[in-house]
Amino acid sequence: MTGGRAAGPDGVAFSTHGGPGSLYAETEQMRAVAAGHDRAAGEALRVAGTAESAGAGLVRAPRVSPAAAVLQARLWEGLERVRALSDRCARMDRDLRAAAVRYEEAERAAAGIVAAEDVGLGALPLEAWRRGRDGLTTREAERLGEVAVQAVPEAVASAVLTAAGFPALAALARIDLKKLSWWQRKTLKRPVSRGASRLVEEASEGTELLRVSPDEAWTAVGAVARALSIAADREVAVAGPPEDRPDAPARLDGSAADLLGLIPRGGVEGELTVTRVERERGGPAWVVGLPGTQGGFAPDHASRNPWDASGLADALTADSAATAPAVRAALEAAGVPHGAPLVLAGYSQGGVHAVNLAGDAGFTAAYPVAGVVTVAAPSGNAARTGGAAVLEFSSDADLATAVDGAPVPASRHRAEVVFHPGGQGWGPPPAPGEEPGAAPAGGFRTAGPDAVGEDLTAAHDFDGHLAMVRQFEAADPAARAEVAGLSATLAGLSAGAVASSRSVRLRRAPAPREAAGSTSPVAPGGPGRR
């Protein structure tokens, strides 16, 4: 992990995590070498089997020929050596994989990413206070979300076991035996009978089944919302022909700021942008701009805007299942040929969709995603991104990016840049003598709901993030070394003259009652940005 401060006396501090210059690139090489040792171990075992078969065929031959006796002895000697070689290769495979895991754990710890603690539901308020009393960062909020989705099902299991008359097993429902010391494990497993031993073992295994990930929790929430018709689950399609964008830039320099500048902000509700770039080398490429949530976060089943709260639910709970075919149709409407390389740029909800599309085999079969750049996007649960170069920007003060409940899964091809604007997240109450209602540096005011809402909105503001991205790209190159390779890849994919830039409008199919002629109100226009 590297980090620094952007150029200028008031430059924002930042840290980077992942990318081709990070430890993750080295651990991927370690795993590749380990896989080679694993293959060598298997090949050595096959050779050993052949030698053993040949030796077995000479069982009677030494009695007839002295030469056969020598050959048999050499075969058995070679067999032992090959088996020893196989064992050494297998050990090297295990050691390299274990070392890669340890290095990545150390890297995540250095970046402030720690494993969620096993905290019970009743202890969650205390845990929240412990983490947030000095300012709650995005990472800490993600940890709390992960703790919560583990604590709720464990609490349900404990209540069921208690009601069934098994209070001792209820107490075990939250115990992770793998984290206990040897003597603790031995004490817990000291049974009064074999039946009790089996029950303890089954309870500990059941605990593992109860440990859900935030991604699994979001998937379950989405399924319930769609079943109850809380979230819209209707087809999204292109509405009208593409329209030229008069305010499109004449040229892109390949910077992340330039790419993010193509994201729709205001204007037509439900639009995305498709920009063709004539690169100096490699032929044309297309940049797709995907907007943030429009119209607020309250579900509105009558809304036909695909970027509304239901669109966000599609991104977080369904891997963009409804949005992916609509984006593909928009690209086809804009004249983008199948097989053309894409760079996806997304803000907030649009960033989650962008990362999802990069890992969607059905989408990339038609339109291979070569690069992705996001800002303020809660995309940590989207783990598959293929071979695309993915660079993500976020702020420690922007708690909206913590709703996924998971950090960005960094790798050689995927990295995040986290800004640290003065303070982080929810700050402590104003100190004595401080102006009432004033926000700590980078934090949020706690004077009332309106102040909190205003500060949350400000922390997630697109323009504020874009300004920090520009500062980052003007910072000392040494501080950006980890992600320099990704930045260069994105520049190679997108730098050039803009040949055309169009907006394509998407609309969700009307609700059944509306389609039948009902007077149900349609969601008002006004592309409120989130």
Instruction: State the pTM of this model.
Output: 0.74
Same-domain status, 97 and 125: no
Query: Which residues are paired to 417 by β-bridges?
Result: 16, 393
Is residue 243 located within the same domain as residue 350?
yes
- Whether 178 has a pLDDT exceeding 50, the answer reads no
Do residues 238 and 199 both lie within one domain?
no
- pLDDT tier at 424, thresholds 50, 70, 90: very low
Phi and psi, residue 33, nearest 5°: -65, -40
Are 282 and 388 members of one domain? yes
Of 43 and 29, which is predicted with more confidence? 43
What are 452-487's pLDDT values in tens digits?
677 778 889 999 999 999 999 999 898 899 899 999
Structure confidence by residue, pLDDT tens digits, 494-524: 999 999 999 999 999 887 765 555 444 433 3
Residue 200 predicted with pLDDT over 60: no
Same structural domain, 350 and 457 = yes
CA angle 212, 412, 286 (to 5 degrees): 100
Degrees (nearest 5) of the Cα angle 292, 311, 467?
10
- Of 89-98, 277-286, 299-308, 471-480, minimum mean pLDDT range: 89-98
Lowest mean pLDDT among 192-196, 355-359, 419-423: 192-196
pLDDT of residue 527: 39
Q: If you average pLDDT over residues 155-182, what whole number do you get? A: 54
Instruction: State the average pLDDT over residues 265-287.
Output: 90
Which of the four pLDDT bands, split at 50, 70 and 90, describes residue 184?
Answer: very low
Statement to judge: residues 507 and 447 lie in one domain: yes
Output the pLDDT for position 520.
Answer: 40
Band of the pLDDT at 166, cuts 50, 70, 90?
A: low
60 & 194 share domain = no
502: β partners: 244, 274
Residue listed under structure tokens 């992990």: 1
238 and 136 in one domain? no
pLDDT band at 488 (very low <50, low <70, confident <90, very high): very high
Assess if residue 529 is contained within a domain: no
Q: What are the structure tokens assigned to 201, written together?
A: 């073992």
Mean pLDDT (the chain, rounded) = 76
Q: For residue 204, is it within any domain?
A: yes
Whether 4 is in a domain gets the answer no
Most confident option among 32-41, 85-94, 110-119, 262-271: 262-271
More confident residue, 109 or 262: 262
Q: Are 263 and 273 in contact (CB under 8 A)?
A: yes
The reply to whether 407 and 506 lie within a common domain is: yes
For residue 11, pLDDT over 80 is answered with: no
Least confident of 50-54, 102-106, 221-225, 458-462: 102-106
The pLDDT, as a whole number, for residue 521 is 41
Residue 248 sits at φ, ψ, to 5 deg, of -70, 145
pLDDT (mean) for 129-149: 68
Beta-strand pair 284-290/271-279: antiparallel
Whether residue 129 is contained in a domain is answered as: yes
Q: d(Cα 346, Cα 34) in Å, to the nearest integer?
A: 36
Whether 54 and 140 share a structural domain: no
Ranges 169-173, 336-340, 400-404, 435-439: which has the least confidence: 435-439
Q: Lowest mean pLDDT of 168-172, 396-400, 476-480, 482-486, name the range.
A: 168-172
Averaged pLDDT, 358-366: 95
Q: Tell whether the model's pLDDT for residue 345 goes beyond 70.
A: yes
Say whether 385 sits in a helix, a strand or coil. Answer: coil
Residue 390 lies in a domain: yes
249 has a pLDDT exceeding 50: yes
Q: What average pLDDT does this structure show over 98-123? A: 61
pLDDT score for 437:
47
* 143 and 65 co-located in one domain: no
Residue 529 is predicted with a pLDDT of 40
- Which of 358, 394, 356 lies closest to 377, judged by CA? 394
CA–CA separation, 106 and 483 (whole Å)? 19
What percent of the chain has pLDDT above 70? 62
What's 402's DSSP letter? G
Q: Tell me what pLDDT residue 142 has.
A: 77
Radius of gyration of the chain from its Cα atoms, rounded to whole angstroms: 28
User: Contact, 123 vs 92, CB < 8 A?
Assistant: no
The better pLDDT of the pair 217, 412 is held by: 412
Q: Judge whether residue 385 has pLDDT over 50.
A: yes
More confidently predicted of 258 and 86: 258
Same domain, 249 and 374: yes
pLDDT of residue 4: 61
Average pLDDT over residues 205-217: 62
C-beta of residue 389 within 8 angstroms of C-beta of residue 370: yes
Mean pLDDT of 384-410: 88
Give 158 or 373, the one with higher predicted confidence.
373
Q: Is the pLDDT of residue 103 over 70?
A: no
Alpha-carbon distance 301 to 310, whole Å? Answer: 8
Structural domain boundaries, residue 97: 23-110
Give 29 or 491, the one with higher predicted confidence: 491
**Residue 8 scores a pLDDT above 70:** no
Q: Could you give the C-alpha distances from 117 to 37, 72, 120, in angstroms and in order?
A: 35, 59, 9
The predicted pLDDT at position 94 comes to 76
Cα(50)–Cα(305) distance, rounded to whole angstroms? 66
Query: How confident is the model over 318-328, as pLDDT tens digits?
Result: 899 999 999 99
pLDDT for 384 equals 83
Q: Characterize 196-222 residue by residue with b for buried, 16 or more Cβ atoms within 10 angstroms of its Cβ, and e for exposed.
A: eeebbeebbeebeebebebbebbbebb
Q: Is residue 6 part of a domain?
A: no
Token pair 């949020």 is at which residue? 444
Domain assignment of residue 527, yes or no:
no
> In this structure, are residues 377 and 352 in contact, taking their beta carbons and an 8 Å threshold?
yes
Local confidence band at 278 (pLDDT 50, 70, 90 cut-offs): very high
Number of folded domains that form the chain: 3
- Which residue has better confidence, 49 or 5? 49
**Does residue 520 form part of some domain?**
no
